[in-house]
Each structure stands twice: as C-alpha cells, then as structure tokens.
Structure 1
Amino acid sequence: MALCQNYQLALLAMLHENLQNGDNIERPRLRVPRQFNPRTVMDNLTDEEIRLRYRLGRTAITELYEKIKHYMEPKTKRSHAIPGISKLLATLHFLASGSFQTTISACSGFSQPTFSQTLKHVLDGICSLTPELLHYDMSPANLAKIKNDFYTIAEMPNVIGAIDCTHIGLIPPAEKERYYYNRKGFHSINVQVVCDASSKILDVVAKYPGSTHDSFIFRNSHLHQRLQAGEAGNGWLLGDSGYAVKPWLITPLLNPLTAAEDNFNSSHKATRCIIERTFGILKSRFRCLDKTGGFLIYKPEKVCQIIFSCCILHNYALLHKEHIEVASDLSPQIDDIIDHNRENNVEGVLIRRQLISNYFQW
C-alpha cells in the first residue's frame, strides 16, 4: 500500500513539474478568425463623392475597370480575395490624394504589403492603354486639327504642340541622391510633356532625374527623332527660351526690337501657356504628383510608372469630359533656365523670322 501511495505521489509531482515548465504538454490551439476590413465600394457613395475621391465619374471608372480587369482579377479562389474593382479604386484614391500607403490601407481595407502588389498590377493595366490613350498621331488630318485648335488661341499658325518640363518630387536612392537634386532644392524626376490646345497630353518622357536639363531630355527623346525625320511636315512645337530654335521648335525672342517681334512674343506666350495649364490640371487631379501631396516614396522606376499612368488617366478623364479646376495651392512651377550659349539652328532662325514677317506685321 505504502509503495502504491509513493508511486502516486511521484506521478503527481512529475505532472505538476511538467505543467509548470510546459514540457511535453500539448494544449489545444484557439483559432483566431482572420479580420477582413471593409473594402472600398462605390455603391454607397454619391456621384460627387466618387469624383472627389477618385477623380473620375462612376461610368468612367466602370468602363476603365472593364478595359484592364484581367490585370486585377483575384488569382485565388478564396472567399475573401480582394475584388478587382476594389484594387482599382484603392489605386485611384492613392493617385488622387497623394496619401502614403498606410493611409490608403486604413481607408480602403488593404494591408500595406497587399496594396504594394495591388498598385503594381493596376499601374501595369493602366499603362497597357498607352496605344489607345497616349499616342502622338502625326497623320496630316490630325495635325491639321491640332494646328487649327492652337490658331484659335492667339493666331499662331502651324503649331502642333506645346512642350515643357515639370518636376515630380520623390525620395531619391541614397547612392544617386545628387542626380535627383534639382535647382529649386528638392529631389525630383524631370518630366517632359507635349500637349495640344485642349490640354490633351500627346507625348511624355518620364525617366530622367531632376538635375537633367530640359533641352537634354528633348534632344534624346523619340519625339525629337520623329520631328527630325520630318514627320510633322511644316508644323512646329512651341517651347520656352530654354530650348534651341529648330525648324520644328519655335521659341520666343529674348530681345524683341520691333512691334512685329513684340506681337510674335505675345502670341507665342498666350499660345504656349496651355502647357502650364495642363501641368496644373494634371497635378490638381492627381495630387501624388505635387509636393503638397507629399513626395513619392517609391523607387525611381516606380515613380516614373506612376507619372506615366497619371498622364494616361488625365487623357482618359478628358475623353469622358471629367473636368477639374486648377487648384490654388499647387507648388509653383520651376522657372526655366535661359541658355545663352545654346546653338540655335540657322534654318530654325530663318523660319521664325519669316513667321514674324508673314503673320505679325500688324
């Protein structure tokens, strides 16, 4: 009997020690249900709220989704996979507001890693629309229309586009920080844009760091090659004094001496200002592109894709008559540097002189 009692006491002591140490004791695991935040939908928003939040109307968003939904449809059969439309709306909200990923995650029900993947897929889808929405058609019929629209502004003939560059702020890679530092004292991508008289974007170059000069970007662009090859016929772009005069790029006179030259400069300025307005509309619609929306925190390649996607969406919005006023609180545009040592093309100078003589001798 005593032996049995001693055995029982020893067994109880062993069990107590194991309970204290947690050794070899399997405890049942409690399953914690996954939390799924409510995702953004349009059903409970008014048309005004949708435009304010996403910068596009209900119909435009729906049609956009149909065009690119195969980039966003869930790859999993799980019941809680994120719907493609929610991915699109979250991305549009980010582009429109300039909020960082954590803010987007909080308001849209996405985790930060999930939104990073979402952003990639949606941007890929938007960029796939480039041939449809951002293509510089230099057919004679289209160029004739562009020229006519520009002429109605201030009677400047044969204009096929207005060209300029704008800076989009970003957090630069540490090892190349100095290349992104622009002359206004912040880090950026220097983006070249050409627009028509209705602010439609015809051509974009978004790949050069902020220290790059506008004229360098243009000289090394595919558009420069097209113009040099004669695709524009007798048409020309209007550029500021930071560019050299070419047969297909007309700039203002630095020191007008006659009334005709003053008339030319006034018409040039009034016509070319459409590119400044285009930048204002673009940055007002997509605050991620303006410093007031915060600097973009992605790698330069991703920032360039964001910029290009916004330009495509800008044209898409114009196509759907989604107008927006230029915001009053945008960061000021960086003034262009006048390069007094630039090499003006002799033929370009002669064409400008003939233009002044034929059209501005009032």
Structure 2
Amino acid sequence: MEESLLLMLSNLLNLQNNLDPSTSTSDASLSCSTSAAPLLFFTIATILTYISSKGVTKPEAEYSVSAFRALSTEHIWAMEAPLRDAQWRSLYGISYPVFTTVVDKLKPYIAESQLSLPSDYAVAMVLSRLTHGHSSQTLATRYGLEPYLISKITNMVTRLLSTKLYPEFIKIPVSRRRLSETTLGFQESTHLPNMCGSIHSSAIKLHSLPTTLINPSIYYSHSGFPSILLQLVSDHKKIFWDVCVKAPGGYDIATHFRDSLLYNRLISGDIVWDKGLNVRGEYVRPYIIGDSGYPLLSFLLTPFSHNRSGTPAQNAFDEALTRGRKVAQEAIGLLKGRWKILQDLNVGLNHAPQTIVACCVLHNLCQIAREPEPDPWKEPEENGHPPRVLENEKSSNYSGEDARQALADDLYQRLSSR
C-alpha cells in the first residue's frame, strides 16, 4: 500500500478519536451506532476518490502516446541500429529510418486534418494495422480509442499514401537511364532484350462484403472467396512501376487490364519508350510480359503455350518468359508477406482500393531502402486462356506476334551456338 494512502487512513483515525473520544463500556455500542457508521462511509468514499484520481495502470499503456514517445525519442538513439530496426520492423513493418521518412512526407498533410493525435503516432498505429492485419476493433482495445476513430485514421493515412506518395514512389520507367537499367536487368536473367516490366494480377481477399451489395457474386474469385483484383507491373528489382485496383475479384485479368490507365496510355501511344531494337528484321519496342490471360500486343508479350507444346525456339522463349514473370509473382508474395492485412482485408469496400495501393507504395519504399525481405505469401499458379483480340488491338496484335517470333528465333540461335 502506498505511503500517501497510509497517511490518509492515519489522519482519518485521528479524526475519529477527536470527534468520538473513548467512552465508557456502557456507551460503546451507542458510539458505534452513531459515529462509526458515517465515518466508515466517509472512509470508503475517500479511498475510492483516491484510487480514481490516481488511475489504474492498464495493459494497453504500452501503446499510449507517452509510451510511443519514450520509445521513439528517449530510447531509440541509445540502441544499436540493427536491434533498433529489428524492433521497429516487428512493430510497424519497416525500419526506423524508413518510418521517419514516411512520417516526414505525410506530416504536412496530416497536420491539415487537425487530427488530435501526433502525426508519427497516427502513422505508427496504421502501419501496425497493415503489418499485422489487426481489425479496427482490436486496435481500438489496444490503443484505448474508439473503433470508428481507428477506421478514420486508417482511411486518412492510406489515402495520403495512395495519392500524395504514389507519384513519387511508383513511376513508369520513361527516362532513358532508368529504362536501360531495367531492360538490362531483365536481360541478365532472361536473355531477352528490351523487356521493361513483368505484369501480374492477384485477388486480394476481402474479409467481408457489405450486405447492401446488389450483385455480390462478381466479387468472388476463381478460388471462391470475395476479393478485389490487384494488377501491378514490376521491374527486375521487384519494385512496382504501375499499380491498378479497379475490378471486383470475379473479373478476368484481360478486362481489368483493358480498363487500366496503363493500357490506354500504351495503346494510344501516350507513353513513348525511345529504345526500339531491330531483331531479325522486326522492330521490337520496349515491352512488358505477362501470362496467357493477357492479350498479345506489341507492348505486351505472352507465352506461345502454357504447356511447352511449341517449337524448340518457342519453348525456349516461354521458359525465358517464365523467369521474367517470376519477378512479379515474387513481388506480390513479398507485398502480402510484408503487409498481412492484404491476406484478409478487413476494411470497408469503399476504402479497400486505397489500402491496397498504400501497401504497394510502402512495398516500394522497402525495396528501395533494401529492407530485409520477409517470407513471401504463396499464391496458387493460374494460367488464363488467351483473350479475344479487340478490333482496335488487331494491328498491335500482329506486331506482337512478329516481335515474339523474332525474339524466340534469335534467342534459340544464341542458345544453340553456345
């Protein structure tokens, strides 16, 4: 028992003696009935008031603003960097320097929202949710806040990540230097020239669907769970240079691709990659690669077959494509491994796309900073059927066929001459 509480009880006993001094035995029972009872109630009330004023330490205190401030300012610089960053990653998914980078970039926008919580504390709370996949109810209990406030802060931070930081950290490689670096990087692993990206799609599982949806069946993926489609293009370093989240999980990937801004910019010639090659008399522009579920176009090359049933040259090309496609598949595995909320997305449907894109932005930050790669999330291999060629795609499809065959023949000749 604390010394201050003992002193309080002692003073109360002295008060009892002054108000009700010792009496004769005959008067003792009367004394107890007239003065002891009120003093007892007064004593209990005083103790309860004292306890209320002191407060009771809750288990969640380690997640309070003061505890976070102590960890992030008072102790952080006294720790060895590897230990510090390992602890930070276990809590928030990223090292302390990367965390401060995110906070510094978001702080001006968070300040405009007049949030009652410190910016770094709010960002840490959201990163904790993205890293561990916690629900708003779980974080509400842990941080001593209302669930609606947790959701509000999550929506604000993910919106800022997906809008304000997206243009800085997710960029199409249009500069000559970056385009050359990317194509050379892919060429080292695939032996195919002018490859500048690997496209892949993944169904992001939704924890639940709103009961008010008119047609919920369109959200169910081929694997049978409600989801939203994520389409991304990765470079050779598993850094995303384009991200699109526009379609329910039941859509096919070709339809999703054709609805994307990337497709419209490529098909219209808005994106100019000034790095064309002449391969066996065919003009080969910089191109991305994808599986058979995507349309074959001059800027998107797909396999000849999914079971290696082509000619030796075509099979060699398909094997090279498999190595290139593996980069994007591994990148998605890292994305879901780092941000476990994407394994079972427990946010409102309206905020699901921005949450997914926010995680992609954070993934790029981690790859650029060379953060340790987590155990990747394993996804089932899916090969879609070749989609129908649209009328406006015919010219590009013919060019894609010619470029693909020229690359296959050139690759096979080089491999055979070794």
Same fold (TM > 0.5): yes
Q: Give the aligned partner of residue 297 of structure 2.
A: 246
What is the rounded CA distance, in whole Å, between the counterparts of 2:202 and 2:310 in structure 1? 31
Q: Secondary structure of 2:316's match? A: helix
Taking a change above 3 Å as real, the CA distance of residues 225 and 342 of structure 1, as seen in their structure-2 partners, is closer
| Deviation of 1:112 (Å) | 1.3
Structure 1 position 147 matched with structure 2 position 183? yes
Q: How many residues align?
A: 324
The equivalent residue for 2:92 is: 54
Aligned partner of 2:234 in structure 1 is 195
The C-alpha deviation readout for 1:172-197, integer Å capped at 9, x for no partner, is 23323111011110000011100000
1:341 CA drift (Å): 5.1
SS of equivalent residue, structure 1 residue 325: coil
Matched letter for residue 232 of structure 1: W
Q: Deviation at 1:340?
A: 6.6
Among residues 270, 274, 277, which one is paired with 2:330 in the alignment? 277
Give 1:252-267 correspondences, 5 Å limit.
Answer: 252-254=303-305, 256-267=309-320
Is 2:402 the counterpart of 1:350? yes
Q: 1:298 aligns with which of 347, 360, 365?
A: 347
Structure 2 counterpart of 1:20: none
Instruction: Report how far residue 258 of structure 1 moved.
Output: 2.6
One-letter code aligned to 2:135: F
Q: Contact between 1:166 and 1:334, CA under 8 Å: does it hold in 2?
A: no
CA distance in 2, matches of 1:337, 1:309: 28
Are 1:124 and 2:159 matched, yes or no?
A: yes
Pair 277,107 (structure 1): closer, same or farther in 2 beyond 3 Å = same
Give the Å deviation of 1:300. Answer: 2.2
Choose from 78, 92, 95 the match for 2:130.
95
Deviations 1:138-184 (A, max 9, x none): 22332111101111112121111000100111122332311101111
Q: Over residues 185-239 of structure 1, what are the superposed CA-to-partner deviations in whole Å (9 max), with x where a residue is unaligned?
A: 0000011100000000010111210011101111121111222233235111111
| Cα distance, 1:67–1:229 mapped onto 2, change above 3 Å | same
| % identical equivalent positions | 25
Alignment check: 8 A CA contact 1:166 1:333 kept: no
Q: Would you say 1:172 and 2:223 are equivalent positions?
A: no
TM-score w.r.t. the length of structure 1 is 0.82
The one-character-per-residue Cα deviations of 1:83-119 (angstroms, maximum 9, x if unpaired) are 2211100100000011111222233343312212211
The residue identity in structure 2 corresponding to 1:261 is Q
Give the SS at the match of 1:252: coil
Provide the C-alpha distance between the structure 2 equivalents of 1:261 and 1:182, rounded to a whole number of angstroms: 31
Query: Secondary structure at 1:93's aligned position in 2?
Result: helix
Structure 1, gaps ≥5 residues long: 1-29
Secondary structure of residue in 1 paired with 2:246: strand
Deviation at 1:325, TM superposition (A): 2.8
The 8 Å contact of residues 234 and 328 in structure 2, kept in 1 or not, is answered as: yes
Q: How big is each residue's C-alpha offset from its partner over 1:237-261, in whole Å with a ceiling of 9 and x where there is no partner? A: 1110111211111111115433222
Contact 1:160 1:237 (C-alpha < 8 Å) held by counterparts: yes
Counterpart amino acid of 1:284? Answer: G
Equivalent residue in structure 2 for 1:137, among 173, 195, 204: 173
Q: Does the CA-based 8 Å contact 1:71-1:122 persist in structure 2?
A: no
TM-score, normalised to structure 2, is 0.72
Secondary structure in structure 1 of the residue aligned to 2:247: strand
Letter in 2 for 1:69: K
Amino acid at match of 1:288: I
State the Cα RMSD in Å.
2.5
| Contact in 1 for aligned 2:333/2:378 (Cα 8 Å) | no
Does the 8 Å CA contact 1:123/1:309 hold for their aligned counterparts?
yes
- Give the structure with the higher percent helix: 2
Q: Deviations over 1:119-153 (max 9, x none)?
A: 12212322211111112132233211110111111
User: For 1:360 and 1:334, how far apart are their aligned partners in 2?
Assistant: 26
Match for 1:360: what amino acid?
A: Y
Relative to structure 1, is the Cα distance of residues 267 and 73 closer, same or farther in structure 2, using a 3 angstrom cutoff?
Answer: same
Rg larger for: 2
Relative to 1, partners in 2 of residues 1:242 and 1:75: Cα closer, same or farther, differing over 3 Å? closer
Q: Which residue does the alignment assign to 1:24?
A: none
CA distance in 1: counterparts of 2:155 and 2:184, whole angstroms: 39
Q: Secondary structure at the match of 2:245?
A: strand
Aligned match of 2:110: 72
Gaps of 5+ in 2: 1-48, 77-83, 275-284
Corresponding residue number in structure 1 for 2:273: 232
Contact 1:94/1:288 (<8 A) preserved: yes
| Residue type of the alignment partner of 1:51 | R
Q: CA deviation at 1:76?
A: 6.3
